[in-house]
Amino acid sequence: MIALREIARARSGDKGNSANIAVFGRTPAAYAWLRENLSAADVQSYFAKLGVGPVTRYEVDNLDALNFILPNVLGGGGSRSLRIDAQGKTLGMALLEMPVDAEAALVTKANR
């Protein structure tokens, strides 16, 4: 098991009461692995304690990225939420800590 950050980068932000997380493969091979192995259900399960609704996943092949929409994860949104991260800026970094069962060959020296 490795942390997702070993093969991916992420960026996240708010969309009202929801957030989106874009996960970018560090290499084309890493993106291929992400497409096959990182599902909306995985992301939903990872953020379940935050009360996320059904997560939707979009493939953005031209960017070697997956975009996940996390409904209702922000506790009301930026202007209403009492959460420390009311705009979801840290959700991407949190997701990169997710343990994944990816092959060590996907981790390149350039990633370290």
3-state SS class at 29: helix
The pLDDT confidence band at residue 103, using thresholds 50, 70 and 90, is confident
**What pLDDT is recorded for position 4?**
95
The pLDDT confidence band at residue 106, using thresholds 50, 70 and 90, is confident
The pLDDT confidence band at residue 90, using thresholds 50, 70 and 90, is confident
**What average pLDDT is seen over the chain?**
84
Question: The whole model's pTM is what?
Answer: 0.85
Give the list of residues 6+ apart from residue 26 with CB closer than 8 angstroms, or none.
7, 8, 9, 108, 110, 111
Compute the average pLDDT of residues 73-101. Answer: 69
Give the list of residues 6+ apart from residue 53 with CB closer than 8 angstroms, or none.
18, 70, 71, 72, 73
The pLDDT confidence band at residue 36, using thresholds 50, 70 and 90, is very high
Which domains can be identified in the chain, with CATH numbers?
Answer: 2-105 (3.30.70)
3-state SS class at 22: strand
Residue pair 18/80 in contact by the 8 Å Cβ criterion? no
Q: Is a pLDDT exceeding 90 seen at residue 96?
A: yes
**What pLDDT is recorded for position 52?**
85
Compute the average pLDDT of residues 55-61. Answer: 96
Q: Is a pLDDT exceeding 90 seen at residue 73?
A: no
